[in-house]
Amino acid sequence: MKAPVQMSSQPVNGQPMKGVEAGVRSAVSRREFLGTTAVAGAAAILGGIDRRVFAAVPVSELLSKNAGQVAQMIRDKQVTAVEVVQACYARIDEVNPKLNAVVAVCRERALAEAQLADEALAAGKVLGPLHGVPFTIKDSFDTEGVVSTGGTLGRVGYVPGRDATVVARVRKAGGILLGKTNTPEFTLGGGARGTYNLVYGQTHNAYDTVYTPLGSSGGAGAIVAAGGSYFDIGSDYGGSIRLPAHVEGLAGIKPTYGRSPRTGHIVGYGGPFDNFQETGPLTRSVDDLYLILSIICGPDNWDAAMAPVPLGDPKRVDLKKLRVAWYTNTGTVEASSEMKAMVKQCVGYFSSLGCTVKADAPPKLKELGDVRQEFEGADDRDHIRRLLEKHHTVQASPGLRTDGKLLPSADFTRLCEEMDAIKSEQLAWFENYDLIICPVMAKSPEKIPVEFARTPAAAAALGSFCGEYNTTGWPAGVVRAATSKDSPGLPLDIHVIAQPWRDDVVLAALGYIESKTGGWKMPSI
């Protein structure tokens, strides 16, 4: 294994941590993170940023670009990769004490890679479509030489010897890793507080820090929205890409099950819950969703569920011919008036194109949700306890559920059969449509609660429209479509779903909505 990359980490909200969290942070800093010389050297480089960097491109303008635009600017030599990395770190240093989104950085390596990228370009060599573009990665993904905790105490000092597949593919395409972003324990343990764990603490929303960033890709969403990183890659087990994107005004996609490998993710693949988990990008533009997804997708000869299905070009989708279904009530969850208005607004965009539009929903949404909920707890959540044991974690984060109801194997089999039967019925229904439009959540974002667990009534009121599409495996994406009045100033995303393997239709629809609404807007943090 290579020597660990020297690291530094930020305190929560700029304040010292207490209790267990302080002990963990202190121990981690001593053993793995602090590289005094490296950090000091990087700081010296950054110190001159306002005096000499970006004479042609203002920093604020550079940080508001999307990944594809910055890649082109670097290739055109309007700005260097070193300058872009410096700008991102300066922005992270500015906003992260308020957000606690980036939990570890690898400045020395990132600046060295940026220098190599600039030298390669000077020699006429382009490293790939992301040449010199900085990015962050959710801490649930392994990163070679960079600490990867997955939000669990047992992995506080764990440094992988290789990158997760999606990380390796982005770096091979020329991307430069800035650091890791916060996630709840095993991506499953944030509870009502969204993104929280005992290793790094609470992450906050970039548009208003008293609000939740949701999860589990909450750190990813917050720092990309705040302009500190051009994109991140998340994982989505029940909305964990789409929910943070929703409350941070980003574009995000959970691709079709089988498109993007999970190799190197702390909750990976295999077993009875295999098809719930997908990996995909969080970006500031829909163009970037297509760019990043095209880089990370495809079999890696390890994740056995991956299929060699080509990713279609969204520019070739004829939007006028789409048959659109829309709904705002699942039978369990009903959207607020604000969310209903946003759905109808977006449906109107497609009506104006001449699309066939109908108020309709997949059958048995409530039943599918009920069966999956029972299914996930059918082993008494022993799969969670096995994760804790595997990673030598003695104390779990308070939001991590370890309760369930142990069912006989016959009942477990019955639940599998019931889920499959409903999925088949829904797939037959989808033959009549090309696109579904619905909310991401039933109501606008909430403030970070003190509690980790919600009452059943509170959970139903907040309700997600995401999990059913992890169960079916259909591609689902989100993009900013409005600004909330119920949670003043916070962004709201719309949710679109297409038939299996038609990720191009999702991307085309998101791009069209983005053209109408303007998409992501830089927060004032």
- Separation of alpha carbons 216 and 265, rounded Å: 13
Contacts of 490 (CB under 8 A, 6+ apart): 205, 207, 208, 211, 247, 444, 445, 483, 484
Token output for 311: 């990713």
Strand, coil or helix: what is 233? strand
- Separation of alpha carbons 104 and 311, rounded Å: 33
Q: Which of 216, 229, 336, 397 is catalytic?
A: 216
- Separation of alpha carbons 133 and 281, rounded Å: 15
Q: For residue 138, indicate whether it is catalytic.
A: yes
Q: For residue 240, indicate whether it is catalytic.
A: yes
CA distances from 403 to 187, 372, 376, 406, 479 (A): 17, 15, 10, 9, 34
Which candidate, 143, 132, 120, 140, places its Cα nearest to that of 73?
Answer: 132
Q: Which of 9, 65, 138, 254 is catalytic?
A: 138
- Separation of alpha carbons 265 and 296, rounded Å: 14
Q: What is the DSSP string of 188-222?
A: T--GGGSSEETTTEE---SS-TTB---SSSHHHHH
Residue 307: how many CB atoms within 10 A of its CB?
Answer: 11
Residue 9: how many CB atoms within 10 A of its CB?
Answer: 21
Q: Which of 240, 336, 397, 487 is catalytic?
A: 240
Burial of residue 414, with CB atoms counted within 10 A of its CB: 0-12 exposed, 13-18 middle, 19 or more buried: middle
How many residues in the chain? 525
Q: How many CA atoms lie within 13 A of 350 on its CB side?
A: 26
- Separation of alpha carbons 269 and 453, rounded Å: 27
Q: For residue 320, indicate whether it is catalytic.
A: no
List 8's β-bridge partners, or say none. Answer: 105
Backbone φ/ψ region at 241: left (φ over 0), alpha (ψ -120 to 50), beta: alpha
**CA end-to-end span of the chain, whole Å?**
39
Residues annotated catalytic, as ranges: 138, 216, 240
